[in-house]
Structure 1
Amino acid sequence: MTPRLSLTARLTILFSLSSAAVLLGLGVLIWLAIDDHFADEDYAVLADNVRLIEKIAADGPAASLPQRLGPALEHHAGFVAEVRGADGKRLYATRDFDFRPALAAAAQAPAGNDAFAWEQQGQTYRGLRARLAHAGAQSGGQPGALRVLVGMDTALHDHFLHAFRNTLAFYGTLAALASGLLGWWAARRGLSPLRTMASRARAVTAHKLDARMPVETVPVEMADLAANLNAMLERLQRDFARLSEFSSDLAHELRTPITNLMTQTQVVLSQPRDAARYRDVLSSNMEELQRLSRMVSDMLYLAKTEHGITLPSAEPIEVADEVGALFDFYDALAEDKGVRLALRGRGRITGDRLMLRRALSNLLSNALRHTPAGKGIVVEITPGADAVQVVVENEGETIRPELLPALFDRFFRADKSRARPESDGAGLGLGLAITQAIVTAHGGAIGVSSEAGKTRFTLTFPA
């Protein structure tokens, strides 16, 4: 497996390559600009020499043109020239120079472009061709035209460009290395907040979730990341605390019936008993086992519901019919406790009938348990364009405001010292948690308020 590079190394390499590319592009641009400048200078010198040849040719007869051109042109180092008459006869040419490559290059030059270049014996030449009028009649000769070809080798300029290229390569490499070193320093310094955040993240354990990232001291680009990490740690700390509390409550709830089972069984086995005593103990054990079974079933149901379980079925449900059926079920208990049951309004939702009935049953059971004799429980259904509200209100003791947000927590009890072995699963602190999970599974929301001796649970379902 190819080893992964650190972010500092990646930024350093990227910065070095970018600097090298910029320097290389700048060097090539300068090199081309200098080369173009030298070409312009060479062609300007060649044009001056063409004008000089034209002036010399105009000052005398064609017969003496070679004698007059020699002294004027031969003192230019690297300069070559060839002059031919209108009939193609060579009138002047630089000694010991082969003009055939130059003539071939001039013939291949585009029409209308008198400038050209060619290679000869490993040397580059720049050339210029021209056609000059020769007024030879003034000196007793015949008028005609001169064909001029002049050239200049670029050895001096090539030597300068070669030295410039080597110098540019040396300083470009040195500058790229210096840029890479500077980039490494800048990247390492710029990423130091990330290393600080990583060190703090390494310090986070199950027993130390209070560590937070330094939002104020990190750059703006990392502040959002630090804030999100802090929010994540806050959620983890809160959920871990809830999980720890839930584990403790679960152990407490399970310990009571198991202890009862063990105690009663040990007592009855300590000495022989009659059949009636054994039946009484077995009946008592059956109640405890049923309680444990309901608790385990409720926990499994709650776990499935909270983990995004889909509704077993979805059908139109008349909420008032379900509440009426539950009133029939709880009517005897309500009459025995002296509690009045009332239903107001109607509304239809789409959902699972059994899940909805269980949620409403949990609320009614909870209301009956906390409603004093002579008071009432009212279920009010309010249909709307987008949602249906179901309110379960009971009269009784007002719940303190600081306890309201925790009512839907598992195994929550306002009075931790109270044990309720006679309660069903809803009374064990799971009923409201299950109700909330069911409402959420239907895409709704649940809320609670308590004031002036009345507690209201409000269920909102999509219409």
Structure 2
Amino acid sequence: MINPRSITFRLTLLFSTASATTLLLVGLLVSSLVESHFEEQDLIELRGKLELIRHAFAKVRTPSELTNIPNSLSDALIGHPDLSVVIRGPDNRLLFTTSNATFATYLFEQPSNGDVYSNETKLVMWEQREHIYRGISATTATGITGQPMATAALAVNIEHHTAFMKSFHTNLWMAIATGILLTIVLGWGAARRGLAPVREMANVAKGISVNRLSDRLSSNSVPPELTNLAIAFNEMLTRLEGSFHRLSDFSSDLAHELRTPISNLMTQTQVALSKGRSIEEYREVLYSNLEEYERLARMISDMLFLAKADNGLIVPNSEIVNLHNEVRDLFGFYEAIADEQSVSLKLIGEGTVRGDRLMLRRALSNLLSNAIRHSSYSKLVKVLIDQTNPEEITLVVENYGETIAMGHLPRLFDRFYRVDPSRQKTSDGAGLGLAIAKSIIEAHKGKINAFSSNGITRFEITFPSVLNE
């Protein structure tokens, strides 16, 4: 298996490759420009001497004056030891040559390049007798009428140019190689420094533990590219901290809820065994124990239901459920309990949803039971069903009682959570009803929210409308 390369290595490699490529291209460009500059200089020099030769030939008016050409050209070209000139007549007769002038034969055969310099060949370079030359050839006419044109070949020794270019190339490529090495070192340092915030984030992550869930990254101290990552990391820590606290509270509450019925069972059993009792007395103890067993069974069943809901294992049946009929039937079931507290029950509205009828009835039963239990004496519990919105249907369970503080509302659907801990022992429920209701509603792709103000507590449920299917 190939080990993945570090980000520092990758950034250094990319940065160094890009820089090396750029330096190499710049080096090639500079080398080409310098070479072109020398070629241009040599061409200008050769053309200047060619013009001088043409000017000298143009002043020749008689054949006798043609014999004076070597003397006039020798005087004109004095002081140019690197320059070689050879002039041949139309019959290939040598008219003029400088000392030690050697030319490649093909130079006299080069075709015209067609530029503004009439009958001039392109600039060529050759090596002869361990010397390097660059030269041109061109025709030149005399002032004698009917006289054929001669051919002049000019060359300049460019050994000093080549020596300079060799030294220049050596220094240039050494500078480029040094630059590439520097870019590797500097790229590695820049990558290390640029990734310092990531290492800080890793150090914070390493320090996260049960006792240090409150640590956060400062989003102001990280580069803009990592700001979103820092914010997401902090939000993740906040969720983890909240989940851990809820889990801790849940474990504590669960232990307490299980301890109470088990403690009752143990106490009653110990009392029953402390002395001999009649069959009827034992029967009463068993009946009492049975109630505690049933309470434990309900609690365990509810916990299993919530565990399935947490893992997405609740798959509701799909059928059309008339919410009005379900609530009306529940009113009949809770009528006796409501009469004991002189609480009136009122149902307004119609609506249907698609889902599991038994599961929805269980959720509505939990909400209705909660509303009656916490309703003030001689008050009203009202259920409103609204299907005017074609996109969704709304069901509201509303009761009059003590206002629930804003800080408690988000936790009403937590398991075993009670707004008033002092009522924990007297309450009939285990604190799982609202949590189960929320799980059922969410399994049906609905939402539930709680509101409380001015003595009115309202649970608002929204379901997708069957009219939108």
TM-score, normalisation: structure 1: 0.86
Amino acid across the alignment from 2:20: A
Amino acid across the alignment from 1:116: L
Q: Which of 384, 403, 412 is 2:417 aligned to?
A: 412
* Contact 2:85/2:101 (8 A) holds in 1: no
* Paired positions, count: 454
Q: Which of 274, 280, 284 is 1:280 aligned to?
A: 284
Distance 2:276 2:17 in 1: 93
Check if 1:328 corresponds to 2:332.
yes
SS in 2 for 1:115: coil
Q: Partner of 2:50 in structure 1?
A: 50
Q: Which of 96, 102, 107 is 1:102 aligned to?
A: 107
Q: Partner of 2:134 in structure 1?
A: 126
Q: Partner of 1:22 in structure 2?
A: 22
Distance 2:423 2:395 in 1: 30
Q: Partner of 2:252 in structure 1?
A: 248
* Contact 2:86/2:101 (8 A) holds in 1: no
SS in 1 for 2:378: coil
* Contact 2:214/2:241 (8 A) holds in 1: yes
Q: 1:84 to 1:338 in 2, by over 3 A?
A: same
Q: Which of 384, 392, 400 is 1:395 aligned to?
A: 400
* Contact 2:23/2:176 (8 A) holds in 1: yes
SS in 1 for 2:218: coil
Q: Partner of 1:114 in structure 2?
A: 121
Distance 2:171 2:55 in 1: 43
CA RMSD between the two structures:
3.0
SS in 2 for 1:47: helix
- Deviation at 1:317? 2.4
SS in 2 for 1:428: coil
- Deviation at 1:354? 2.2
Distance 1:439 1:86 in 2: 110
* Contact 1:393/1:455 (8 A) holds in 2: yes
SS in 2 for 1:127: strand
Check if 1:343 corresponds to 2:347.
yes
Distance 1:181 1:278 in 2: 88
- Deviation at 1:239? 1.5
Per-residue CA shift, 1:405-457, capped at 9, x if unaligned? 3221110123324445873xxx2111111112222233332222334443222
Distance 2:455 2:50 in 1: 116
- Deviation at 1:306? 3.6
* Contact 1:311/1:351 (8 A) holds in 2: no
SS in 2 for 1:456: strand
SS in 2 for 1:119: strand
Q: Partner of 2:442 in structure 1?
A: 440
Distance 2:427 2:269 in 1: 20
- Deviation at 1:326? 1.5
**Pairs within 5 Å for 1:419-438:** 419-420=424-425, 423=428, 427-438=429-440
Amino acid across the alignment from 2:412: L
Gapped regions of structure 1 (runs ≥ 5): none
**Pairs within 5 Å for 1:7-86:** 7-60=7-60, 61=63, 62-63=66-67, 65=69, 69=73, 76-86=80-90
TM-score, normalisation: structure 2: 0.85
Distance 1:401 1:50 in 2: 102
Distance 2:188 2:4 in 1: 17
SS in 1 for 2:95: strand
Q: Partner of 1:211 in structure 2?
A: 215
- Deviation at 1:164? 0.9
Check if 1:197 corresponds to 2:189.
no
Distance 2:289 2:97 in 1: 130
Amino acid across the alignment from 1:128: I
SS in 1 for 2:38: helix
- Deviation at 1:72? 5.1
Q: Which of 354, 376, 381 is 2:380 aligned to?
A: 376
SS in 1 for 2:404: coil
Q: Could you tell which deviates more after superposition, 280-289 or 48-57?
A: 280-289
* Contact 2:107/2:136 (8 A) holds in 1: no
- Deviation at 1:238? 1.6
Check if 1:135 corresponds to 2:140.
no
* Contact 1:101/1:118 (8 A) holds in 2: no
- Deviation at 1:204? 1.5
- Deviation at 1:361? 0.6
Q: 1:97 to 1:436 in 2, by over 3 A?
A: same
Q: 1:371 to 1:400 in 2, by over 3 A?
A: same
Q: 1:433 to 1:196 in 2, by over 3 A?
A: same
- Deviation at 1:209? 1.0
Q: 1:380 to 1:198 in 2, by over 3 A?
A: same
Distance 1:64 1:131 in 2: 19
Q: Partner of 1:169 in structure 2?
A: 173
Gapped regions of structure 2 (runs ≥ 5): none
* Contact 2:108/2:137 (8 A) holds in 1: no
